Structures are given as C-alpha cells and as structure tokens.
Structure 1
C-alpha cells in the first residue's frame, strides 16, 4: 500500500451506534450498486460477473481476507484498484477496478464499513509505531 494511504483513518469510525448504522446502510446501498456484481450480495466473491474474470474477486467471508487488513488498505484497494500491481503484491493483484473517479472518499469509506459489516468481520487495528 502506498505510503500516502498507510496512516489514513476512517473519518466515520468514531460515531454513535445510530449514526454508524446509517453509514453502514448507505455503504451497503453503494456496495450493492458498485461491488455486488463481482463480490456478490454476501461479499463472498460469487457475484454474477465473477465467473467471467480471470482472477476471482476477494471472498470477504473468508477469515484470511478483509479481516486481516486495516481499513486504510481496504480504502486504498477500492480507490486505486488492483490492476497492474508489482509482482511483490502477489497474490493481491486482481481485476479490481479503480473507483477514484466514480466514488467520493466519503462513499468509499462507507463502502469499507459495509464490507466489514456484510462479511461479519472487524477491521484489523493498525500497529502502533511508537
């Protein structure tokens, strides 16, 4: 993940439960429109377009995927996509398109929240570098 994304924090993370639920609902709507075709309704990588892709979309239900990354990584992958990553990024290269020109940062953060909620996962906490 490029350094400029490394220390990003979700600006919507520290809110009351009602507001959090609203953001997740908004993110879920955005997810259904933009992400579901590949990642599937259940975020299991089995969307209707997944069969036509050379690289299978991430299965967020798998404990080894979204639950192992910090939110800033998920934000980066949505914003910048996964195409053309260096060999060192393997096995994380993917057919994931960049959404930076279609979605605002606010919308991307809400999708990140929705992905974790749909998958029933919590984001990994960033490691302290003190």
Structure 2
C-alpha cells in the first residue's frame, strides 16, 4: 500500500497526511509561506507517492499553480515632488506639467487614475488620465 508522499520544491507548501478508513493515505497541501504574484506568478511542483512494496515503487505528478493578483501595492509616483511654474496671464488649456505613477499590481489592480483633491486647486487646474495638469 501507499506509504508516503513528498512534494518538491516545498518552499511555500507543506504536506499534511490523512489516514483513510480503508487504510489509504490522502495528502493535503497547506500554505506555509505567503505567495506574492509580483515576485512569482506561477510555480510547478512535483508530488511523489511511494508504496511499501519490495521493490519499492513510486509515481509522480506535476502540480502547476498560478498565483492570482490582489491589490497589495500602492501606486508610486516617478518623482517625490513635481515643480512647475505658470505665467499669470496664461490661457485656459495651458499644460502646466505632467505627473506619472505606476503600480506593480496586474490587470485592473495596477491601473492608475489621477484626481486633484483640493477643491480650490481643482477649480484652477484639471488632470487628465495621462497625468497632464492643465490650467482651467
């Protein structure tokens, strides 16, 4: 009968064995270390089952895991401070500066949008989805 299971590599998971009423064994993979899609988006593991016969026999199977993204990263601007100047008689629509931020997450979790939060400032300026700050 089945004697043991092994899992390689075993950096992120441990195997917990359960004995069945019929004498068989069932393996359960338990996460032991957090997964981070930005560091490793997929992994391949090899599960080996070993019997107790003589000669001892084994069987293997590949387990492919895809790590799904969660929104665990905040957007980061390319600069800490953006400095710009504008002439007092500039016309509406004048480009003041462009800001840029990126997010390490994937899909919609990594999409960045911009908002000017101060109501006085937002009366004077608007920001486009590309990060262009424009005089209103």
Q: Which of structures 1 and 2 has the bigger CA Rg?
A: 2
Measured against the shorter chain, the TM-score band is under 0.3
Higher relative contact order (CA 8 A, sep 6+): 1
Which has more helix, going by share of residues?
A: 1
Q: TM-score, normalized by length of structure 1? A: 0.19
